[in-house]
Amino acid sequence: MKNDPASDLAAQRLANAIRDYTPKHPSKFQTLLPLKDAIAELRAKGASYATIADILRNINVPVACDTVFRFCHEVLGEPMTRRRKRRKPPVRVLSERAQEKSHEDHSTNKSKKADSRPVSGRKDTNGPRIADPNNI
Over residues 75-112, the pLDDT tens digits come to 888 887 766 667 776 665 556 666 666 666 655 554 44
Q: What is the pLDDT of residue 1?
A: 47
Q: What is the pLDDT of residue 121?
A: 56
E-state strands within 51-132: none
Q: What is the pLDDT of residue 20?
A: 81
∠ CA 121-125-126, nearest 5°, is 160
Ranges in the chain, pLDDT < 50: 1, 110-114
Q: How far apart are CA 132 and CA 62, in angstroms?
A: 73
